Structures are given as C-alpha cells and as structure tokens.
Amino acid sequence: MDVKRVVGYREFCNKLWNIVKFALSNFPTDFKPKEDGVASLEGKLSLADKWILTRCSQLITSTNQNLTDYKFGEYSNNLYDFWKKELADVYLEAIKPVVKSGDSEAALNTLYLVLDASLKMLHPSMPYISEELY
C-alpha cells in the first residue's frame, strides 16, 4: 500500500467537497434548476458551459461502457480526471467571474446539471461521500 496514493485520494475527496461547497455557496437561496436542463438557455450558454456539458456527456457514455465492461480502473481514472482537471481546474475557474457579475443563470444551471450527473457517476465507487454531497 502506497501512503502517497492514500494521501492523494484524501486530497481528491477534499477537492470534491470544495467543489460542491463552492457551488452551494453561489446558488441563490431561491435557485431552482430549469426543468428542461439548459435547453431554454441555448443562446446564453458560454463556450465554457458548452464545453463542460460536452465533456460530461462524453463521461456519461464512457462511464456506462466502462462499468458494463468491468473496466473499473478506466472508470475511476476518467472520473478523477473529470472532477479534478476539467471541472475544478478549468470550468470553475472560467465561471467565477461570471458568477460574481450576477448574470449567471446559464452558468449556474450548467453547474447544477454537471454536478448532478457527475455525483451520480461517482456513487458506485465512492458511495458515502457522494451521498453526503448529493
């Protein structure tokens, strides 16, 4: 057992927690996600919104395939990369100015959809933290 790996996974769990904490702190108290997802916001979606939705869609496809094929290593690596490298490092950094500006309906709805889907995908491998965050 590699202690550095255990520490890295602990840090990953902390990253998950901070991502959800960021989202919850930026959702207004009266926030209700659009019932149609982001379909009604099509003209308002930024390039970053479209990019993360595309990446999330690709992750859903690969997650379903990896779980069907019992490729648990690929499944967990893809989720790790998505959460850490794409969602946290790119998308959240891209929407911070938008959220602070106040014109954030599209970004918040996109973030809600992505968090909803990615927490559900994470649940088979990390049920306790994903359930708590959901």
Q: What is the mean pLDDT of residues 61-72?
A: 97
pTM over 0.75: yes
Tens digit of each residue's pLDDT (9 = 90 or more) over 7-24? 988 999 999 999 999 999
Domains in the chain (CATH in brackets) are 3-26+44-133 (1.10.730.10)
Secondary structure in 3-state letters for 8-33: HHHHHHHHHHHHHHHHHHHCCCCCCC
Residue 2 has pLDDT above 90, yes or no: no
**For all residues of the chain together, what is the average pLDDT?**
94
**Confidence at residue 39, expressed as pLDDT on a 0 to 100 scale:** 87
Spell out the residues 6+ positions from residue 109 whose beta carbon is closer than 8 angstroms to its own. Answer: 33, 34, 37, 38, 41
Between CA 79 and CA 85 the distance in angstroms is 10
Q: What is the mean pLDDT of residues 52-67?
A: 97
Assign 35 to helix, strand or coil.
coil
**Confidence at residue 43, expressed as pLDDT on a 0 to 100 scale:** 87
